[in-house]
Amino acid sequence: MSVMNLIMCLFLCTLSVCCFASSHRSILREVSDNDRSGIDRDYAVELNATNFDAVLKDTPATFAIVEFFAHWCPACRNYKYEKVARLFNGPDAVHPGIILLTRVDCAEKINTKLCDKFSVGHYPMLFWGAPPKFVGGSWEPKQKNSDIEVIDNARTADQMLTWINKQTSS
Ligand SMILES: *[C@@H]1O[C@H](CO)[C@@H](O)[C@H](O)[C@H]1NC(C)=O
């Protein structure tokens, strides 16, 4: 930062518009401080038919979990997946960049076709796969050797973690 910029910044700071390079980081810190109070904050990425392909195509993550749910059925998704999402996504992730946790609200009209393509028959329905396999993808119950797998028996955050551990260690 040049002396001129520094002086300019000090001036702006007195107007409470700080422009130091660290200001960006302090915003991040504020966000994560808020997170600690709002402990159930959800870092799963909400996708819809418009951005589904683009997000899954662009993510650097090795694996993706897509949860199809319906917002009118809170009981159908009361499995505390937020805990899992927090491990892999978001600013305080312990294992960042490995798994992208996403979800799609099938009760939104825009997502009807997308949910049909994945044969969503109950909520929540969870899928596992390499992100590119979801792009333009589909799934059928009778399909063999699919690159996308249904995650069965993931009714709690712990069960989901067990499942993830099995997948990532094999
Ligand atoms: C789809 O998701 C994007 C990104 O979150 C959002 O900007 C857009 O409004 C959504 N579209 C609909 C129809 O909900």
Instruction: Render pLDDT for 8-60 as a digit per residue (tens, 0 to 9).
Output: 444 443 433 333 333 333 333 334 444 444 455 778 899 999 999 999 999 99
Q: What angle, rounded to 10 degrees, do the helices at 157-169 and 81-88 form?
A: 40
Encode pLDDT of 112-128 as tens digits.
999 999 999 999 999 99
Mutate to test the pocket of ligand 1, among 45, 51, 56, 104 (most ligand atoms within 8 A of CB): 51
pLDDT exceeds 90 at position 67: yes
Mutate to test the pocket of ligand 1, among 47, 48, 109 (most ligand atoms within 8 A of CB): 48
pLDDT exceeds 80 at position 130: yes
pLDDT exceeds 70 at position 106: yes
CA–CA gap between residue 27 and residue 42 (Å, rounded): 19
Q: What's residue 142's pLDDT? A: 86
Q: What's residue 28's pLDDT? A: 37
Q: What's residue 120's pLDDT? A: 96
pTM value is 0.74
pLDDT exceeds 90 at position 99: yes
**In the chain, what percentage of residues exceed pLDDT 90?**
45
Closest protein CA for atom 14 of ligand 1: 48
Q: What's residue 3's pLDDT? A: 52
Q: Which domains does the chain have, with CATH numbers?
A: 41-154 (3.40.30.10)
CA 50 – ligand 1 centroid, Å: 7
The verdict on the CB of residue 168 being under 6 Å from ligand 1 is no
Q: DSSP for 87-136, please give it.
A: HHSSTT-SSTTSEEEEEEETTSGGGHHHHHHTT--SSSEEEEE-HHHHTT
> Confidence band (pLDDT; 50, 70, 90) for 6?
very low
Please identify every residue annotated as catalytic: 73, 76
The verdict on the CB of residue 31 being under 6 Å from ligand 1 is no
Q: DSSP for 45-98, please give it.
A: EEE-TTTHHHHHHH---SEEEEEEE-TT-GGGG-S-HHHHHHHHSSTT-SSTTS
Q: What's residue 33's pLDDT? A: 42
